[in-house]
Structure 1
Amino acid sequence: MVKWDDAIYNIPAYPVTDAAWYLRIPLVTLRSWLKGRCYATKSGQQIFDPLIQRPDPGLPQLSFTNLVEAHVLRIIRETHQVKLDKVRKALDYMSQQFGTSHPLVTKKFQTDGVDLFVDQMDRLVNVSRSGQLAMRETLKHLLTRVEWDANGIATRFFPVIELIPEPGSDKIIFLDPSIRFGKPVIAGKGIPTDIIAELYNAGDSIEDIADEYDCTPLQIKTAIQFESQNRAA
C-alpha cells in the first residue's frame, strides 16, 4: 500500500499562481492560507497558523492535496465568511477526529465529516439553523467535484468553469496527478487544456482542433474557456 506522504497526491507540483487560477481564488488570499498572517486585536497583534500545509515547507509549490483543500476552504471562507481563526480550530478538530493532517481531502469528510465540521463551526461561531443548512448543502455540492480512490483519498478534481452554458460541460476538465503530471486535461482524452488554447490562439478553428484530437466542439470550447478565464484572473 502506498504511504500517504509518498503518494503522487502530495508531490509539490503547482506554483501558487497556477493554483490560484485553477481554483478562482485571489492570489493574496491563497498565499495567506499557505503562510498565515498577522491580524490586529484589542490585545495586540495576533498570528494565525497556515490553513494549508504544503508538503515541503522549503518549496513554494502546492500539491494536488493542497488544491483540493483550498477548493473546500474557498467556500467556507468566501461564501460563509467564517473567520480564519475559527476555521483553523475546526480543522484541528477534524484532524483529531480523522487521524490525518488533511481531513478535507478524505472521502470520510464527504459523508459524516461535513456534519462534524458544521457542528464544530456552530460551537465556535454560533451558526444559525439556516446557516448550518446552507453550509452543509454548499459543502456537499462542492465535494461532488472531487473523486476518491478505493482508500478514500482524493485523486481527481473538476475545477469550476464559468460562462459555459451548454449542459454536460461542468465536468469536461479535470486535474489528476496520475495524468500529465496533474495538468488540467480534457476528461477521457488526457489532452492538456493549454495545448488546445495555444492552437486556438494561433488561429486554428474549434472544429479543426476537435477533428485533430478526436474531441467534440464542446470539449474544445470548454478547454479554451477554462484557459481564458484563468489567464484573465
Structure 2
Amino acid sequence: MMQLYGKTDPRDIPSYSIRDAAKYLRIPAGTISSWVKGRNYPTANGLNFFKPLIITQELKPKLLSFTNLVEIHILRAIRKHHKIQLDNVRKALDYIDEHFQVPHPLAREEFRTDGVDLFIERYGSLINASKARQTDMKEALNAHLERIEPDDTGLAIKFYPFTRSHEEDNPRIVVIDPRIAFGRLVIADTGITTSILAERLKAGDSIEDLADDYDCDPMIIQEAIRCELPAAA
C-alpha cells in the first residue's frame, strides 16, 4: 500500500463494494465485476478465464479502493462509446503500464498529458479504428478525465462522478474524496453524504426540508439524491 504522511494512503484503502461502485459510477455491477474479478468465457475447447483488467487487493468479499473507482471510471469512457474488446483493452493497458512504470497509471495526471494519446494510438491500431473514431475516443476519455482532480504528486485525490446519463449535461455537484466522510459520496465543499439525504427523503422529509436543514440550495439537494437513485433520468 502507498503511504501518506506516515500512514496508509486513504486512496488505497478498500472501501467500496462492487454494488457501491456500480451506483456511484452508473455502470452495471456485472461489468465492474468482470473488470476487477475476471470472468470465465466459453471456447471450442471449454472454459477459459479472462484475467481482471484492474488490479485490486485480494479480499473476500471483493472491495475496491478510491483509486480503483477512478480507473473504472476511465475504462467506462471506452465501454460507453465503443464496442469493447477486452483483449485489446488489456494490451493497450499493458502498453501504458510499460511506458509509465508506476502503479495505477490511469489515475495519474501523466495519463491526461501523455497517456491518452499513447493509449488511443495503441488501442486504435489494435481495433483498426479510423482517425474519426480515435478522435471520438479521445474526446470521451478527456470528458472523463476532467472529472478528476490530482494532488501535487499527480495522483487522483478528488473525483466528481457523473450524475446523469448524458455526460455533456453533468454538473460537478457531488464528489468522492477519500479524506472526507470515509470516501462516501458527498455534496462538494460540505461533507453532506448523499446517502443520508436519500435516507431522509425516503423517511418522509421533503426536498425543501432537507434544503432548510442543511442550508443548501434545493436543486443541489435534488441532484445529490439523484446519485442514490440510479433509475432517475
TM-score normalised by structure 1 residue count? 0.90
- What's the counterpart of residue 75 of structure 1? 77
The farther-off stretch of 52-61 and 194-203 is 52-61
Q: Is residue 73 of structure 2 the alignment partner of residue 66 of structure 1? A: no
SS of the equivalent of 1:185 reads strand
Q: Is residue 172 of structure 2 the alignment partner of residue 171 of structure 1? A: yes
- Shift in Å at residue 133 of structure 1? 0.4
Task: Write the deviation string for residues 110-129 of structure 1: whole angstroms up to 9, x where unpaired.
Answer: 11110010011122121111
Distance 1:204 1:57 in 2: 38
Distance 1:40 1:120 in 2: 27
- What's the counterpart of residue 114 of structure 2? 112
Identify which of 121, 136, 149 aligns with 1:147.
149
Identify which of 128, 131, 137 aligns with 1:129.
131
Distance 2:141 2:200 in 1: 36
- Shift in Å at residue 205 of structure 1? 2.1
Question: Which structure 2 residue ranges, 5 or more long, are not aligned?
Answer: none
Distance 2:106 2:45 in 1: 32
SS of the equivalent of 1:47 reads strand
**Moved segments of 4+, more than 6 Å:** none
Query: How many pairs align?
Result: 228
- What's the counterpart of residue 26 of structure 1? 28
Question: Which structure 1 residue ranges, 5 or more long, are not aligned?
Answer: none
* Contact 1:173–1:184 under 8 Å retained in 2: yes
* Contact 1:175–1:182 under 8 Å retained in 2: yes
SS of the equivalent of 2:84 reads coil
Distance 1:65 1:20 in 2: 15
Q: Is residue 204 of structure 2 the alignment partner of residue 203 of structure 1? A: yes
The structure with the largest strand share of the pair is 2
Identity of aligned residues (%): 47
Identify which of 145, 161, 164 aligns with 1:162.
164
TM-score normalised by structure 2 residue count? 0.90
- What's the counterpart of residue 41 of structure 2? 39
- Shift in Å at residue 179 of structure 1? 0.2
